[in-house]
Chains A and B, each alone.
Chain A
Amino acid sequence: MLRSATLLAGTILLAASPLAAQAGLLSSGASVSLTAVRQSSISLGLVEPADDSTAAAVWTAWNIDRDESGPLAVVAFVEPPRLASARGATGIRPIEVLGRPPAEAFLLFRQSTPPDRGRGTRTEMLELRRGAGTLNLMVFTQ
């Protein structure tokens, strides 16, 4: 009699176990890898003087991946080069090593981008001597 009761209990437990397994049965998780990239960007502008002033504001804004880029350099050059009347104007130094801009370019400023300065802006006043030709400005990372 006791053995029969034990067998019956065992039978009930066996039948109940599938019920417990299916309630809230979870599958394994499938993973989806997400990657989104914000590309580095730099921009440059010149606010020309409104009157006879010779001072123009040069501004640059940057958002640089600090792991991939070094400091910024802003340069100016005049085309055609023989009309580079800006040469020798106040505060413009000859450039040392640039590469992409023409050899006649002048370094206006170099901006470091330390870890806390991956993004930023900078504005400098550029003194110009009036003359023929087109003033070009360029910003790039080094």
Chain B
Amino acid sequence: MRIAARGRALVAVALGLSAARTVQAQAGQLAPAQILSLVAAAPSVLGVTVLSGAAQTIPSLTDNAVNNFPSPVVVRTNWNLQPGQSSSVELVAYFAVPAQALTGGSTQIASSRVLGRMTTGLPAAYTAMTAGPVAGAGTAGGSLHLFSQSISGSNKVGNRTDNLDLALDLVGFPSLPAGAYSGTLTIQAVTQ
């Protein structure tokens, strides 16, 4: 019994020494330093919101005349960008299928008959939506470039609100059959 107890004590001491040697060995050897470069980039933000006027209606069209939509589309554009990587924000309005901007029955009204004006932007006067895309935003022959906002350090985070006025130009257009004509205009922002 006493021998057995002494044996356990010896074993315990031996383990303690062994552990101590390991600690001493580790304290004297350093692994090469590993340098990790961490780059945390906040995602850029670019958004377009229609604050009002998302549903535009002309209740009674007049043939052979320019028919204004009654209220403007109020568009808010917001961004949070890195100025060294984006020099401007462009806003574009477009129809997905320019030949069928508005349709009703078998009658199609092309985007060339839809006029847009943004007095705080590029088309200060009513302009047909027949331009091409801007930096990949828009469709060929069915777009209108609304504004180009320069981005610098002072306004890398910002927003602006603009009014888009719309009209339907039926001058010279064949008399429309009675009925409703509908379509969807898309407004999109893109950086350059």
Q: Identify the A interface with B (CB < 8 A).
A: 3, 7, 11, 14-15, 17-19, 21-41, 63-67, 118-119
Pick 12 A–B contacts, CB within 8 A, sort by A. A3-B34, A15-B39, A22-B191, A26-B136, A30-B49, A32-B53, A32-B55, A34-B101, A36-B168, A36-B182, A38-B63, A63-B175
Q: How large is the interface on B (under 10, 10 to 19, 20 to 34, 35 or more residues)?
A: 35 or more
Residue of A19, A39, A41 near B85 (CB, 8 A) is A19
Chain A interface helix/strand/loop/mixed: mixed
Chain B interface main SS type: strand
Residues of B within 8 A of A119 (CB): 175, 177-178
B110 at the interface (CB under 8 A from A): no
Report Cα–Cα, A142/B55, bound state, in Å. 32
A23 touching B191 by the CB < 8 A rule?
A: yes
Q: A116 CB to closest chain B CB, in angstroms?
A: 10
Which B residues are CB-close (under 8 A) to A40? Answer: 178
Minimum distance in angstroms from B181 CB to a CB of chain A: 5
Minimum distance in angstroms from A64 CB to a CB of chain B:
6
Closest to A36 in B: B58
Q: Please report the C-alpha to C-alpha distance between residue A67 and residue B176 in the assembled complex, in whole angstroms.
A: 15
